[in-house]
Amino acid sequence: MLRIANALETQLRGAMQRAFPEAWTEAGEAGLDPQLAPASKPEFGDFQANGALPLAKPLKQAPRQIATAIVEQLQADAAFTQLCLEPQIAGPGFINLTIRPERLAAEVASRLGDERLGVPPVQGAAPVVVDFSSPNIAKEMHVGHLRSTIIGDSLARVLEFRGHPVLRLNHVGDWGTQFGMLITHLKQVAPDALETADAIDLGDLVAFYREAKKRFDDDEAFQTTSREEVVKLQGGDPLSLKAWGLLCDQSRREFQKIYDRLDIRLSERGESFYNPFLPAVIDGLKQVGLLVTDDGAECVFLEGVSGKDGKPLPVIVQKSDGGFNYATTDLAAIRYRFAAAPDGDAARRVIYVTDSGQANHFVGVFQVAERAGWIPDGSRLEHVPFGLVQGEDGKKLKTRAGDTVRLRDLLDEAVERAEADLRSRLQDEERSEPENFINHVASTVGLAAVKYADLSQNRITNYQFSFDRMLALQGNTAPYLLYALVRIAGIARKGGDLDASTAQLQFSEPQEWALVRELLRFDAVIAEVEEELLPNRLCSYLFELSQVFNRFYDQVPVLKAGPDALPSRLALCRLSADTLKTGLGLLGISTLERM
């Protein structure tokens, strides 16, 4: 109800200005805040205006007296009386506001057939960068990559829906010491992998990486040779670059299989992309006087961030041996992303979706970028942290052997469990369905369950992974939401024309009005997710909408309704389906018409 809320906000400010012109002159528009918010309970109407209470002290009047004066001015405003029923003053001075039924019905009618469902396009859209997923080359994607990938994708979808041009960046780990280490090891144990594409599979490559890491940690001579290999790679040695390219391509193809399965769109821009810009980071920090040489390393000491010894912590941007690190690369990326085109992305909002363990790293890097003047006025640089995926025992999710769970295996198991549940249900219902139906439903439900179980949690906290919970048909789960859509599709199959036009919507039952009000909340929820970057707010809304729709479906006849009520009830079904499909789509979840 954003449009209605904005109209009410304007009308309330006008009423406050007319009721208390002297206070308005003194405080200005920002000083007299109506404090408009959705009503906390249905019996209080649709909105509450609590702005009378903070005015009591400066006006030296009782809040209820102030509220009465505001209401008198509201009732003299024709635009307000056409929008709202008579305001009610409650408690010490709360103003309860109920929207006229005909205005609510008109709002529903305006959303029927509207692809945006009442969500206004953003004004003055500017490019947004969302940095998410970010696996490492020569490693398989594991369950730890799941959260970054689907949270980032969902946020990108919401921002795109609002009308922002979004650049979805996959900042893969494709540069640095690990490649010198891996290439050195492969030269000795599997030289074909450095000359021939796919000479070994990714699983073997992962095993070789572990062996190389152990040798690097234990063998000084191997360390030295690996570092020399890094120098060759950074210097453009053709053989090293060819080997590096083969390893990257092989990993990239495996990553893409996961992304295709999850319906994730990304533009890869790895650490190597920023390598040419690293010296400019050092020069730029020198120019603004931030760089300090400490023990041979080039550092920026943070303000307000101290170590255990009470001294400011440093962000090292060039090591004593002249090498660069993650902080240098991230600073180069920030500069590039905010820089004007064609020398950069010209972004005005840059969002990093990573685990919360990197929070301190980004606090430091963001502060350095801010102090260096690399973040344009009015721009936003944000870290979107998330917690761990845990097993049902509350510990970090691992296989029985103690290894990190591969993402591919986790998705396979989700689909297999969804298929087993579906086959069992079909047997109980004595239904016969073709194999292609079973495979499609199992894949859709399994992947939807994994995504929704993650996104429905507050991303800041850890969450416990449970196949049984996420695949349940009851509760705040993807199958429950999908089933609401299946019910609506069933109405259409039984002859309900969801696309029939109706000249005027008419609602009489409490369940209808409850559904109307829930449907009209969609635009405000999208605006909230856009601002706060919390996909679980959208999940909560879709769950509540499904609950309200199911009560409506169970308690109010649709297809058996009389001719006067039928078109309006079908319209509610249609808008419910459109809202659920759109909302689930913004979470990256596909829908079904039959389960």
Q: What ranges do the domains of the chain cover?
A: 2-99, 177-268
State the pLDDT at residue 25: 63
Bridge partners of residue 398, in order along the sequence:
404
State the pLDDT at residue 24: 65
Strand order of the β-sheet with 36-38 is 36-38, 47-49, 94-97, 88-90
Helix (H, G, I), strand (E, B) or coil at 384: strand
Q: Are 575 and 519 in contact (CB under 8 A)?
A: yes
State the pLDDT at residue 379: 96
State the pLDDT at residue 436: 96
- 0.85 surpassed by pTM: yes
Provide CB contacts within 8 A for 315, sequence distance 6+.
299, 300, 301, 302, 327, 364, 365, 367, 368
How far is Cα 110 from Cα 112, in angstroms, rounded to an integer? 6
Kindly give the pairing relationship between strand 94-97 and strand 88-90. Answer: antiparallel
How far is Cα 276 from Cα 325, in angstroms, rounded to an integer? 13
How far is Cα 488 from Cα 482, in angstroms, rounded to an integer? 10
**Which CATH number, 3.60.15.10, 3.30.1360.70, 1.10.357.10, 3.40.190.10, labels domain 2-99?**
3.30.1360.70
Determine which helix (DSSP H) or strand (DSSP E) holds 168, and give its type and residue range: strand 166-170
Please count the CA atoms within 13 angstroms of the CA of 163 that sit on its side-chain side: 10
Question: From residue 262, how far is each of 144, 149, 171, 228, 265 by CA, in Å?
Answer: 15, 9, 18, 39, 9
Helix (H, G, I), strand (E, B) or coil at 390: strand
Read off the tokens for 76: 């003299």
Q: Which amino acid is at 587?
A: L
What helix, strand, coil percent values describe the chain, rounded to 5? 55, 10, 30
Tens-digit pLDDT string for the chain (595 aa):
889 999 999 999 999 999 988 776 665 555 678 999 999 888 899 999 999 998 888 888 999 999 999 999 999 999 999 999 999 999 999 999 999 999 999 999 999 989 999 999 998 888 999 999 999 888 888 888 999 999 999 999 999 999 999 999 999 988 878 888 888 998 888 888 888 887 777 677 888 888 999 999 999 999 999 988 888 887 788 888 888 888 888 888 889 999 999 999 999 999 999 999 999 999 999 999 999 999 999 999 999 998 888 889 999 999 888 888 899 999 999 999 999 989 899 999 999 999 999 999 999 999 999 999 999 999 999 999 999 988 888 888 876 666 778 899 999 999 999 999 999 999 999 999 999 999 999 999 999 999 999 999 999 999 899 999 999 999 999 999 999 999 999 999 998 888 876 768 999 999 999 999 999 999 999 999 999 999 999 999 999 999 999 999 999 999 999 988 999 999 999 999 999 999 999 999 999 999 9
Region label for 124, one of left (φ > 0), alpha (ψ between -120 and 50) or beta (otherwise): left
How far is Cα 539 from Cα 26, in angstroms, rounded to an integer? 43
Q: Are 422 and 237 in contact (CB under 8 A)?
A: no
> What does the chain come to in residues?
595
Helix (H, G, I), strand (E, B) or coil at 593: coil
For the chain, how far is it from start to end, CA to CA, in angstroms? 32
Tokens 């440093």, located at residue: 314
